[in-house]
Structure 1
């Protein structure tokens, strides 16, 4: 197996920004425990700033991001480990308004990707559904009833409005 060659300049701008970031970096030395006892599962959408929306900062919470803010198998493992090893006492599940994953079913997302790029993504389980509330109920129930989490953690379901910044508890 060959080792991929780094793109010579494809990331240069980001590395330059990181150099400036390092110069003022003062947040080192944390132990990885969620100081506020919080974990959040939210969408990968770039309009969401998870820590800022709930008044927390680096080191306070575990943030897990998935398409649509769904509880995927990896997100579930992250929640379980957060509760058992990293000080998590509360989990927020936070989908958001105007989410692409709420704009149709998996087949609709696959069709859009095919139209945009020609690529067939039908082998992926995407987790899209226009019934965002039903998905949230399902994901919150999964966490509340999971044998490694039930009785160990508070779980809430929320909706984040990307246009107003409002976070509303739904469950």
Structure 2
């Protein structure tokens, strides 16, 4: 490892930079096209228990994967989906929240703001966390945001499902 005084953030990332150096020795994605080879955009959570490619039988290049806290369809998600549909070969969208999600277990954004303020002394009220303890209601809302977005094609196939972090199973949800 390098001298911590010259590495970014005092060496806090040395492990990942070293892993990348090993990764490049067998890098196999050169030449992969930037389109979604199977036409899929996946909106899922940032939770580290989710392995999007493996759980859906995908390989690199098959899908555009959008991850955020709670698998929510935010304005930025919509912006990214518009780009993915028109420029990156996406022709279907799957929204996939998961069981035991922290963002679905808190009563409100205010509760998250209060917790962070109390525990860390940081005022986060300038942010929207998009919490919703009605996970299926939030999923229904997010599906409708995509289905009725004026910049996305009418009839774009959009589906929702819930991933079970304890079994790996995906349960489609029909709204």
TM-score bucket of the superposed structures, by smaller chain? over 0.9
Q: How big is the shift at 1:152?
A: 4.9
Q: How big is the shift at 1:94?
A: 0.8
Partner of 1:27: 29
Partner of 2:62: 60
**Equivalent of 1:153 in 152, 156, 162:** 156
**Equivalent of 2:126 in 105, 123, 126:** 123
CA distance in 2, matches of 1:146, 1:123: 26
Verify the 8 A CA contact 1:38 1:91 in the aligned structure 2. Answer: yes
CA distance in 2, matches of 1:131, 1:64: 21
Aligned residue for 2:171, secondary structure, equals strand
CA distance in 1, matches of 2:19, 2:103: 31
**Equivalent of 2:100 in 80, 98, 101:** 98
CA distance in 2, matches of 1:115, 1:156: 38
Verify the 8 A CA contact 2:70 2:131 in the aligned structure 1. Answer: yes
Listed as ranges, the gaps of 5+ residues in structure 1 are none
| TM-score, length of structure 2 as denominator length | 0.91
**Equivalent of 1:49 in 42, 51, 61:** 51
Number of equivalences: 167
Aligned residue for 2:9, secondary structure, equals coil
Q: Deviations over 1:63-119 (max 9, x none)?
A: 001110001111111111111111111100111111111012101111222233121
CA distance in 2, matches of 1:150, 1:89: 9
CA distance in 1, matches of 2:119, 2:99: 23
Partner of 2:16: 14
Verify the 8 A CA contact 1:39 1:91 in the aligned structure 2. Answer: yes
Verify the 8 A CA contact 2:147 2:155 in the aligned structure 1. Answer: no
Q: Deviations over 1:15-37 (max 9, x none)?
A: 00011111111111112010010
